[in-house]
Structure 1
Amino acid sequence: MLALPAAPAAAGDIRATVRDRDGKPVADAVVVAVPSGGATGAGIPPGLAEEDQRNKEFVPYVLPVQAGTRVHFPNNDNIRHHVYSFSPAKTFELPLYSGTPTSPVLFEKPGVVILGCNIHDWMVGYIYVSESPHFAKTGADGKATLGGLPGGDYTLRVWHPRLEGSEQATARPLAVPATGAVDAATTIGLTPDFRARRAPTPGRGGY
C-alpha cells in the first residue's frame, strides 16, 4: 500500500492594524486572540525569550511572551544594571550585574510586567505575558500578523503601555477562517508618555 502524505492542517491568519485617534499607526501594541470559551487552543509551546539591555535601554521596549516562557536578561552594556519588577504578574530582582545571569526568569502568570533599573531611572520596559499562544506586536506601521490560527471564533484584544482605559475595553469578537486571512483594525486612545527623561547619573561612575 502507498503511504499518502498527511494533509496540512487548516489555519487562518489575522492581519491586525492598530491606529490612534488621529489615524496614526501605533507601534509596540500587542494584539492577542483568545479562542471562544477561554480555551487557548494549539500553538507553539512556551520556550525561551530575551530582554536585552543596550545603550542603557531595555530592548525590546515591549516583549510579548506566552505564559510559561523563560526570559534571559543579558546586559550588553559596559556598565552594570540592576533589573527589577514589582508587578503583580511577576515580582523579581536581578541584583547589580554584567553579562548574562545563569538562570532565566520564568513568567508563568498572564499580565503586564513593568521592568525597571535601580541605577538608571529612565530605563523602563514591558513584558506582556499572554494566556493565549496567538499574539503579535505591531511594527512602526501599526501592523501585525497573527498566523496559523485554527479556524473559529475568537476574542481579539489590544494592549499598549500608554493605552487609555482597560485592555478589556478593546475586546471584540472575530471569526477566523479555516484558510485565508481576516483583517482587523482597532483604534485606541493613548495617554501622554511620562517616561523619565534620560540623563547621566552624577557620582555613579561605572554604573
Structure 2
Amino acid sequence: MPKPFPRLAAVATLCLLAAGARASGVAVAVHDSTGTPLADAVAWLEAEAGQAVSKGALKTAEIEQKSLKFMPLVTVVQTGTRIDFPNNDKVRHHIYSFSPAHKFDQKLYSGTTATPQIFDKPGIVVLGCNIHDKMVAYVRIVDTPYFVKGDAAGVGRIDAPAGKYVLKVWHFNMAGGQPAEQAVVVKAGDALGTASFRLPMKPPVSGDAL
C-alpha cells in the first residue's frame, strides 16, 4: 500500500522551499511507486531547443574510498568535470569503469596517487573495484549546469533562469534505467516551481534481504 506520511512530508518540504525561494527554479520530490522517498535521485533541467544556456563554472568533484566503500554512492556532475579518487582506506584499491560514457582502469594504489578523470561525455558511469567486488558507485554526467542530487527525503532544488525546460529524473535502481521527464516552465523572479515523480524500482535480487 502507498505510504502517505513520507509523501506528505516531501510535499511540505516542497512548499517550504517554494516559500523561501530567492531565485527562480524548480523544487523536485522523488518517490518510488509505493510513495517512499528516494535518496540519491538525480534531477536536471535541459533547455528547449534554441534557448541559450550558460555553461557555468566547472567544479572539481571527489569520490573517496573509505571503509571499503565508494563515498558518495552517487555523484552528479556537468560534462567536462574532473573527479579525484583519493583512497583513504588502509588497503589498496583497483578502481575501474567499463561504462561507454567513460572507461578507465586505475591499477592498485593508495592515498592520492590515482590519476584524476575528466568525465567529458553525458551518461551513466558505474564504478567498481577489481579487488573488492561489493564496492560500487554511480556517476551521472549531465550536459547542463542545472542539476541536483536529492537528499534523504527525496527532495532537491534546482536554480535556473526563466525559460522552458525538460526536467529529467534518474535513480540508479530504477526499472528500465531511462530517466523520467516532465516539461516545466521556470518563471522569472523569485517564483520556485514544484514537480514530483514516482519511479518504478527494480525488483529485489534474491539474497538482497539476507
- The reply to whether TM is greater than 0.5 is yes
How far apart, in 1, do the equivalents of 2:88 and 2:123 lie? 27
Larger CA deviation: 156-165 vs 94-103? 94-103
Larger radius of gyration between Structure 1 and Structure 2: 1
| Aligned residues of 1:11 and 1:151 also touching (Cα < 8 A) | no
Matching residue within 177, 181, 186 for 1:176 = 186
- What aligned pairs does 1:91-102 form with structure 2 within 5 A after superposition? 91-101=103-113
Number of the residue aligned with 1:204: none
Matching residue within 11, 16, 25 for 1:13 = 25
Matching residue within 76, 93, 107 for 1:64 = 76
| Aligned residues of 1:82 and 1:97 also touching (Cα < 8 A) | yes
How far apart, in 2, do the equivalents of 1:101 and 1:144 lie? 34
| Aligned residues of 2:106 and 2:115 also touching (Cα < 8 A) | no
Larger CA deviation: 99-108 vs 113-122? 99-108
CA deviation digits over 1:82-112, x for unaligned, max 9?
Answer: 0000000000011000001264100000000
Superposition deviation, residue 45 in structure 1: 2.0
Matching residue within 113, 119, 138 for 2:125 = 113
Q: What's the TM-score once normalised by structure 2's chain length?
A: 0.83
| Aligned residues of 2:162 and 2:185 also touching (Cα < 8 A) | yes
CA deviation digits over 1:31-90, x for unaligned, max 9?
Answer: 011011176711532231101111000100000000000000000001100000000000
Q: What's the TM-score once normalised by structure 1's chain length?
A: 0.84
The percentage of aligned residue pairs carrying the same residue is: 40
| Aligned residues of 1:16 and 1:143 also touching (Cα < 8 A) | yes
Does residue 154 of structure 1 match 2:165? yes
The structure with the largest strand share of the pair is 1
Does residue 164 of structure 1 match 2:178? no
Unaligned ranges ≥5, structure 2: 1-21
Q: Secondary structure at the match of 2:103?
A: strand
Number of the residue aligned with 1:36: 48
**Are residues 140 and 156 of structure 1, via their aligned partners in 2, closer, same or farther at CA, if it must alter by over 3 Å?**
same
| Aligned residues of 2:85 and 2:114 also touching (Cα < 8 A) | no
Moved over 6 A (4+): none
**Are residues 129 and 20 of structure 1, via their aligned partners in 2, closer, same or farther at CA, if it must alter by over 3 Å?**
same
CA deviation digits over 1:114-144, x for unaligned, max 9?
Answer: 0000000000100100111111011110100
How far apart, in 2, do the equivalents of 1:154 and 1:101 lie? 40
Superposition deviation, residue 186 in structure 1: 0.8
| Aligned residues of 1:43 and 1:134 also touching (Cα < 8 A) | no
How far apart, in 2, do the equivalents of 1:139 and 1:11 lie? 20
Superposition deviation, residue 166 in structure 1: 4.1
Q: For 2:167, give the aligned amino acid.
A: L
Q: For 2:72, give the aligned amino acid.
A: P
